[in-house]
Chain A
């Protein structure tokens, strides 16, 4: 079955620092997606990452705060920059894999103190 992995699974960070989250897909995909899930909330899309081009950010999210890399068709990173407690969330990556079904990684649980 299709697999998406993320690292780290969780982290506790100090405000003002940055964290880079890695996402690995076990097959080549055109688009990868990064979502945020704040405590008790549903998922909100941060950006769509295409290989070889700039990521497309949703309203309310900017590249300076959430820079994304997409160096190849199986890997992407999301950096949460200059963190504040409001950035405490679960961050999830996803991709369309089998038969147009979107699959998700296990998530990265971030706590900012």
Chain B
């Protein structure tokens, strides 16, 4: 059974810092991995999708990497801003048997001015 864990659970940093959020999964047989952002009381916004054959994806100040063999992904946020404050969730889609996403526990990020 796939399990997805995110570390740290919460993070508070001053504006301008570069950040690394971690996601680990127990079954390396994944189809892809997706990073989401969730603002309080809101739905999810997709940030980046990494296919199992890819090593990384970049969008603006965000860079996500994937090491499938070790069951890890990282989300790198450069030059953090207060507007980046949100909960970040990673989710994996298994290679076989299902199209559903298995979500991690989330990292709650606060960037203060």
A interface SS class? strand
Given A101-B49, A102-B101, A90–B89 Cβ distance below 8 Å?
no
Name the A residues within 8 Å of B36 (CB-CB). Answer: 104
User: Interface digits, B32-49 against A, CB 8 Å rule (1 contact, 0 not)?
Assistant: 101010000111111001
Q: Which residue of B lies closest to A58 (CB)?
A: B100
- In the assembled complex, how far is the CB of residue A64 from the closest CB belonging to chain B, in whole angstroms? 21
B interface SS class? strand
Query: Chain A residues in contact with chain B, CB under 8 A?
Result: 31, 33, 42-45, 48, 58, 90, 92, 94, 96, 99-107, 109
B41 adjacent to A90 (CB under 8 Å): yes
Which residue of B46, B89, B103 contacts A103 across the interface (Cβ within 8 Å)?
B46
Which residue of B42, B91, B99 contacts A96 across the interface (Cβ within 8 Å)?
B99
Docked complex Cα distance between A107 and B44 (Å):
9
- In the assembled complex, how far is the CB of residue B78 from the closest CB belonging to chain A, in whole angstroms? 22
Docked complex Cα distance between A105 and B38 (Å):
12
- In the assembled complex, how far is the CB of residue B102 from the closest CB belonging to chain A, in whole angstroms? 8
B28: interface (CB < 8 Å): no
Q: Which of B39-70 contact A (CB under 8 A)?
A: 41-46, 49, 51
User: Interface digits, B8-23 against A, CB 8 Å rule (1 contact, 0 not)?
Assistant: 0000000000000000
